[in-house]
Amino acid sequence: MAERGKAPPANPWAPTKDRAGQRALKRDAVLRTAAQLFSEKGYAASTLDEVAVRLGVSKPTVYYYVDSKDAILFECVHTGLQMLQQAIRDVDAAGGRAIDKLEAAMRAYVAIVTQDFGMCVIRVGEDPLPPASRHKLRRMKAALDNEFRELIRLGIAEGSIAPCDPKLAAFTVAGALSWIGRWYRPDGDLAPEAIADQAIAVLTRGLCGALPAAPRATPRRR
């Protein structure tokens, strides 16, 4: 997840002997370029012509790797959601307290929604797609919501999270973090890590959370 939003992919059209690997690389470049375009201009205003122009290839070349604009959007959102799912699985596998897992999941979430596919999940999402695709992606989103909810539930049970409505608390967390994907600019002066630090501080300790009236054992992260 070290990749920053708009870094141009290495040129996958350079000659090579590894045909299958090259095909996968080229397909990824098409998807990534389309994800950037959709996030910048909106789905309706984006064309595969422009994807081709950005990649310096012909439109038929683009169609060699993908079937349609809808298929591209599906792949972009699906990939972004898979990244988010994998991040939660990694966090879970690392073990520890629920609150620590939740913090790690929040950090990974910010890292992903500030990258091409994750940003496309937030800014475009599944809404423009036909019902079957939309339904599949929504199920993935609901599963992710549930992971956050479960971590909050476990945190309450272990005593690291204050009693609250896990569903609404999870929506608050996901909302605050998802919004970052809406305003984040890869060429701006804020690094995703710094944004994550501040958002996590507000969400875990609260705007009023580190006041002299209620000092906390752990120092506030800057």
Q: Which residues bind a copy of itself (CB under 8 A)?
A: 42, 44-45, 99, 102, 127-128, 152, 155, 159-165, 168-169, 171-180, 182-183, 190, 194-195, 198-199, 201-217, 220
Q: Report DSSP state, residue 52.
A: H
**Least separation, in Å, of the C-beta of 158 and a copy of itself?**
11
**Least separation, in Å, of the C-beta of 58 and a copy of itself?**
27
**Least separation, in Å, of the C-beta of 74 and a copy of itself?**
16
Residue number, 49 or 158, with CB nearest to a copy of itself: 158
**Least separation, in Å, of the C-beta of 165 and a copy of itself?**
5
Residue number, 25 or 166, with CB nearest to a copy of itself: 166
CB-side neighbour CA atoms (13 Å) of 167: 1
Burial of residue 45 (number of CB atoms within 10 Å: 0-12, 13-18, 19+): exposed
Residue number, 82 or 198, with CB nearest to a copy of itself: 198
**Least separation, in Å, of the C-beta of 171 and a copy of itself?**
6
- Residue 144 CA to residue 146 CA, distance in Å, equals 5
Residue number, 57 or 120, with CB nearest to a copy of itself: 120
**What are the backbone angles phi and psi of residue 75, rounded to the nearest 5°?**
-60, -40
Residue number, 55 or 124, with CB nearest to a copy of itself: 124
Residue 159, sorted as left (phi over 0), alpha (psi -120 to 50) or beta, turns out to be: left
Which residue, 183, 196, 188, is CA-closest to 4? 188
181 membership: H or E segment, kind and range:
helix 166-183
